[in-house]
Structure 1
Amino acid sequence: MEWLERMNRVLDYIEDHLEEKMDYKKIAQIACCSEYHFSRMFSSIIGISLSEYIRRRRLTLAAFEIQKSNHRITDIAMKYGYDSVDSFTRAFKKTHGLTPTAAREKGTSLKAFPKISFQISIKGDTEMEYRIENVDFELRIVGKGKTVKTSRAFKTIPTLWSTARKDGLMDKLIDMSWENPKCMLESLLGVCGKEAAITDEHFTYFMGVRYDGESPEDLETLIIPKSTWAVFPNIPEAWKRLYSEWVPTSGYELADLPCIECYYPPKHKPGHELWVPIIPKK
């Protein structure tokens, strides 16, 4: 399938450039999605971050080269992207449990992390719950946007919500959202950028709620046009299975709008949902 072909082209690209500075924007372009979304998708499906996978592959090849050749440790470190022998030694020891010099001794046991490949997993015992929501009006979302570095978004966003809880923004949004519910999107909303294709080094992560009243002076307003959404309970599980199981076989593709993470009030079932903008596949 087209999705699998794109993902495996990404892995081929990574493998061909392990001895160079990795171009994360190029990786996202090959995958036909934003840098942020691909990084998130990869982490959800594989269980480790994209950067960690690349690090492990480089250290695997470095270990092979150390054992098979007489090349200097310094040259091998530089070849696989390390600025100094010290930083290479720390990373190597963390992965393999011993120093590069010790790895040259005969009979030494090392760890190899092979190249992965994407495949569709056909499972009959685990269904994937979802529903289709047609929102035939503009979504007016009021809140605050924060600038996020794309490559660190996966770690930065939880910190933004933690800060919002401490500085009172979260309570203010809750009061605006839940006192007068108007639609299924009545929850705390995390909107990633303004378009699906986040190709810049930074983007705006918008924390807000759907609100039709007069916007407070200290908050911003974001308008999302009417669209059709695939809605999945359990955000972490949804991210993990969305690209590998649902999208390839659904007959839909992602629309050029941001995904929205919805965090509902206490005792709401489910507690959170992922809203994914979709259009019929051409």
Structure 2
Amino acid sequence: MDHNKVIERSLIHIEEHLQHPLTVESVAGAFNLSKYYFHRLFSAIMGCSLNHYILSRRLNASLAFIQNNKSSLTDIAYQLGFGTQASFTRAFKRHYGVAPSSLKTGTTTIPPVPVPEVVKRPIKNINGDIVTDFTLTEFKETRVSGIAFEVDLANDDYKEKIRAHSKLLLSHMDGILNTPCYVIYSNCQPDSTRFKVLCGIPGSMEIDQPFYFTVDVPPIFCARFNYRGDLLDIGDVLKTDYARFLKISRQETAETEIELIQAFDNVHQLDSNYHIYAPIKKLPLDSDLE
């Protein structure tokens, strides 16, 4: 079974039936799967429960109805299965932080978002828990040369900032050079959304420009995960994967300056497969889990 394809098809099915009753049992039945298995599979791959996802997509669908200004909030609530206007309004305010009436008056505009991409990665079943596949390994000591900068995940432009700096690094390199690329996130303080980022390649490279450095990354014991696509677009899925990993493996996060390392095989193909290295404490049970 191609798990990613099943979930991709289920997202389309949900989108086409937002104005009909939707349950775990009805969606799972559309793909001839047990509701218990489908519930675990959906949560593992999408990073949220099916019910939470359906609610978010119904609220997303309501945006067009509201901003077209052709239906009352009561009618919209009924069409999308909220039962009452009051329950719809409460859910809308929790999700968007504003009342739906503010869209009616034109004081607020919220653009709808498309159906999300399914984050591609291998998964496995461990004692009934469906989790992303992982390997316990050591990120070996590596000298990395590249460009350093800071991002704030609370700002909408942080994705573009990381991409722009990656392109800036490439502009100083030989286009023929095929080498791995590392994006290293470090020094996030408690309750902060600010990270330091180093985007670089292994080895020494001298670039006489501000914010270009060569650093030695120490050996770090890590959990390694494999993904396809853009790390900047996987959002809460990575958090969910990591939380599930800690739960089923009984591991603990290591206290290091480095929070995360994203490793690409080729600096010229940053939309290809990559590894995520997350530092963890090296415990006696590690050898049993490899």
- Which bracket does the TM-score occupy, shorter chain normalised? 0.3 to 0.5
- Say which structure, 1 or 2, has more relative contact order (CA 8 Å, 6+ apart): 1
Relative to the length of structure 2, the TM-score reads: 0.41
Higher relative helix content: 1
